[in-house]
Structure formats: structure tokens, C-alpha cells
Chains A and B, each alone.
Chain A
Amino acid sequence: MTAYPVLDQKDTRSGFGAGLLELGKKRADVVALCADLTGSLKMDAFAEAFPDRFIQCGVAEANMMGVAAGLTIGGKIPYTGTFANFSTGRVYDQIRQSIAYAGKNVKICASHAGLTLGEDGATHQILEDIGLMRMLPDMAVVVPADHNQTKQATLAIADHQGPVYLRFGRPKWPVFIPMDMPFELGKAQVLVTGKDVSLFACGHLVWKALQAAEELAKDGISAEVINVHTIKPLDVEAVLSSVARTGCAVTCEEHNRHGGLGDAIAQTFAQQRPTPQEYVAVNDTFGESGTPDQLLKKYGLDTPDIVAAARRVLARK
């Protein structure tokens, strides 16, 4: 039996909306900005409760990022909300100069990331955002695993001084992180301990990794599942101590195999502890229209793909 029963089925973006509302009640210095996607980002409740602190920016994301940067001058903590594609690639230079280089305390909150956006297709399914944001000096990159953790992360990043990229998604997804499980920025969570292989995952694929661990257990393979919700700064100690026990790793992410969680971990292995690693990630391609389930299957991000990757990497030990 799993240690993580499904508590509910909820979208991670609703976790963001709930967290933002709670944060608005707690802190008067939090302001929210949205580029014409208030409903999609679940920011309606905040906008209704705090109309003075909600800034509708229209379909003009570049300006939104600059306005957010300016709001920090005067002590505000701005949370921007739009789709992940428009939160990163579309406004990269604005983020780079006005937020990251300028060291501004802006929280870039990005929904509809990855393939699980579904039917809207590849124009909106950004698979490069983690890499883009990881490359910016001092930018923290957070990819929570479920609804509850997205809510926790939304609250936690307000206490982190500096820019943060918070990535979440659209589909209803199993909720399995209990609200009383502590969330600490930069601290990976060992959800299941194991001795044969480490499954490092972020976002929606944490649930898939848990499922994969159960499958592997049926064949007597003991998989450790680590939720790497903070990709930057990476919890290097947690990564290294896990593979010290298991000796091999699979990294699982809803992102291009270039630049994401897998590369962050591979860099650590290369420098500190060479370790066989397999990637479960999108194989350097764009997505397409389809249901989230169809897409995860077609692009090799489903439970059986993680199981297969674990078997491959075990053979390389």
C-alpha cells in the first residue's frame, strides 16, 4: 500500500490561487499582477478581496514584468501571474535586466507549464522555461508537486528575498502531499526511501515517480523517490546522499531534457560523484494537442517510462 493516498484531484494552479489569497490576508505588502488570465491563474479571489492590490495589466506581459520590478521600489512584493510561456520566453530580457540583474524581489508565477496544458498545443506548452530561468543568476526556481504543495510554496516564497520562478500547471492532478508536511524552499523531500535506484522528480511527475516506485517494488526493486521541488538552489546534499545509498538515478520532469532538473542533477554528479543517470524528459522536441494523459504517454513521461528508465540505469550500475 502506498504511503501517499490520493487525498483529492485538484489543479496546482488552484493551489496558487488559494495560497495567494491567504498571503494577501497575511501581508499587506503583497501585490498581484495579471496579464488577462485572472480566471486561468485562479487569481479571482485575491482580486476580489484586495482590489487595490490587484493590478490588471492586459495582454502586455513585458510591461507587467517592468511594473512588477518597479513595485519593489517602495517595498512591495509583486506576484505576477500568466502562462509559463508568457512568463519566461516572451519576457526574458525584461526579467533578465529589470528583475534578475537588478536584484528585484519579484515572484514570477507561471501556470499551464509543460505538456499537461493539453489541447492548446505546442505554442503554449513551454518545455524550456526551467532551463531559461535556471540560467539567470540568483533566480530561484520552484516546481511544486501538487495542489497542496503549490499553496505552501506560494506562501513560502514571500519570505525569500529575491526573484523566484514558481511553475505549476493546468490539469486536475492527484493531491497527495499532506498540508502538514513541512515545505522548505531549497530542501528536497525524500518521499519514499529505497536502496536500489533514486527517482528524482519535480512537478506533476512526482506522482508518476511514486507510481513507478510501486511498480518496481513488485519486482523487488527498491526505489527511493525524491521530490526536488526547488530546482535552484538545488539541494545538492539530498541528491548526493540519496545516490550514495542507491548508486544510480532517474530524473523525471515535464520539460525538455536540455536545461531542466535532469541537467541540474547531472551537473552535480559530474562534479561531485559520477553516477549513472537516465532522463525521463521530453526528447528535444515541441509538444502537440491532446489530452494530458495522451501527451505524457506519447512523449515518454508516463509511469511505464520511469519504470523502464529505472531498469536501464540499474543495468548500468
Chain B
Amino acid sequence: MMHAQRPVDGPAPLPTERPSDQELERIASQVRRDIIRMTHGAKSGHPGGSLGCADFLVALYFHILRHQPNPWDMDGSGQDIFFLSNGHISPVWYSVLARSGYFPVAELATFRRINSRLQGHPTTHEGLPGVRMASGSLGQGLSVALGAALAKRLNGDDRLVYSLHGDGELQEGQNWEAAIFAAARKVDNLIATVDWNNRQIDGDVSDVMTLGDLHAKWKAFGWEVLEMNGNDLTTILATMTEARQRTGKGRPVMVLMRTEMGMGVDFMMGTHEWHGVAPSDEQAQRALAQLPETLGDY
């Protein structure tokens, strides 16, 4: 017997009332506080990249994605879905997931603690809503996002797949296998983004192992390529709208996003040193003093 095509649930609607840029700024400030408090509380974790991607992930989850936080559904049928490939920036993702309704905000206090769903790197293993793939070992997320995009295509689901990758992560060869595959299979319902902060653990990406002309590389691999300032909400919303308009045209879409590692905390900016170091008590206080509490700390 032929199984019927998997039914697609009614597509998740665009939120009727989308937050204004000012409201998104306020959410981003709270998310940055969460990042500092989570890494400080756990005495470990990755604040630098998390702060740098806060604006983008807030824009994504509070404005761009057509998604259904609750009830949560692994398959995400009829929804836009997102994959975080550079899993070490879990603090920002967990904060944004909690603040957008995937799980209780109070659970952020369990980050990296024993018996928590908020593992150091994101995983499906503990059943945390919003997480569809384990990530942390770098370079694997683009392939996964492509598979999910193909599943949507096979299911007749016209929603999109989004993914985020680190720039240092692009040194992993699997990304380039995936880049070839995406163009060859004409996966045009995917918008991949790169956190182009030019920082990695050992220093600047351009020093450790330069990526060369990153824009030209993706273009040469057959992708639509856009660039944006990933720390400017107005620019993010405009560019991601443009990115969405470029989907469905036979090519995968890449948005290279210039960001500042540590954005929003002055002493964490301009260096790679805060890639994977938690702030001390005193440093956390200094950081939080720069970040207004807008939605209430967890």
C-alpha cells in the first residue's frame, strides 16, 4: 500500500503584530544580559560569539521566522525552521528560544549544570524544545539544513530552512561538500548565514587560516550571496527580506553577516579573547551595567 504524502499542517502565520525595531532592541538587550548571566553562572561557555549574534537571532525569532514555539514539533511542518551549526554560541540561542516561548525562561539558570536540558552545546538528546539537531562538533549544520530543506521540498511544504554558521567553522571541509551539493541539487528553500566576525579561538580568522574572498567563494560555488551588518536590526530585517525574495529561484542563498564578537560589552569587543571564557563576578557586573534589564532577568 502506498503511504499518503505526509500531510503538511496549516502553515504557521506571520505574527500579526511584529515587534518594532525599538522593541527588538529591548529584547536584544535582555538576551545579552541572559548571555552574561548564564556564562557567569556556569563559570564557562561562549559569551563572545553569542553577544555578536544576539541582534540577528532576536530579529530571526521575533520577526522573520514563521514558527510555532508552542506546541513544539520536531518536524516543523508548515513552519520556517532554524539550525545552529556553530553550537558553542548556545547561550544566545537558548535565551532567544526561551524568550520567544519555546521553554520557560527560568530554565536558563540550568545552563551547563548537571541534569539540564541546556547542555553546553545544543542537543536533541535531552528533549529541549526548539532544538532539532545536535551541534558543537563544527561543520555539520549546513548538510543537516540541506537535508531538512529537501524534506520540505518532498513534502510540498513551502516554508524555509535557515541556518547559522561560524566563519572559523568554514575551515571544516564538510561545508564545502555541502556548498557543492546545495547548488547541484538546486536547494532554493534554504537561507544560510555566516557569523563573519573574523574571530576564532586562536586569533583572527584572517591570521589563523584566512578564508580569502569569502563572498567570491560562495558565488563561485553557485550560491546567491548577500552581505549585511549583523549588528544593525534595520539592516538585518531589510537584508533578510531580500534574501527571502531570492529563494525559490533555483539557487541556495547565503547571507554573510558582519558582526562584532562581544558586541554590547565594551571590554569584550575588539578581541578573540572572549570566544570561550566566562566573565568573573566583577566582569559580569561591569558587563551587566552596560545592558539594560528590559524584560526581567530569569
Contact = CB atoms under 8 A, between A and B. Distances in A.
Given A67-B147, A70-B147, A97-B134, A76 B142 contact: no
Contacts of A68: 147
Given A71-B151, A74-B75, A101 B6 contact: no
A94 interface: yes
A101 B133 CA distance: 9
Nearest to B150: A71
A157 to B, nearest CB: 17
A73 B83 CA distance: 11
**Dominant secondary structure of chain A at its interface with chain B:** helix
Contacts of A98: 133-134, 140, 143-144
Given A28-B3, A62-B174, A74 B151 contact: yes
A58 interface: yes
A270 B149 CA distance: 47
Contact of A75 (B144, B155, B174, B177): B155
Contacts, number: 130
B104 interface: no
Contacts of B77: 74-75
Given A58-B184, A62-B143, A102-B134, A70 B155 contact: no
A63 B134 CA distance: 15
B148 interface: yes
Nearest to B77: A74
A66 B140 contact: yes
B81 interface: yes
Given A53-B154, A94-B140, A102-B134, A58 B180 contact: yes
Contacts of A31: 154
8 contacts: A27-B3, A58-B181, A66-B143, A67-B144, A67-B178, A70-B145, A73-B147, A76-B151
Interface of A: 25-29, 31, 52-53, 55, 57-58, 60, 62-76, 78, 93-94, 96-98, 101-103
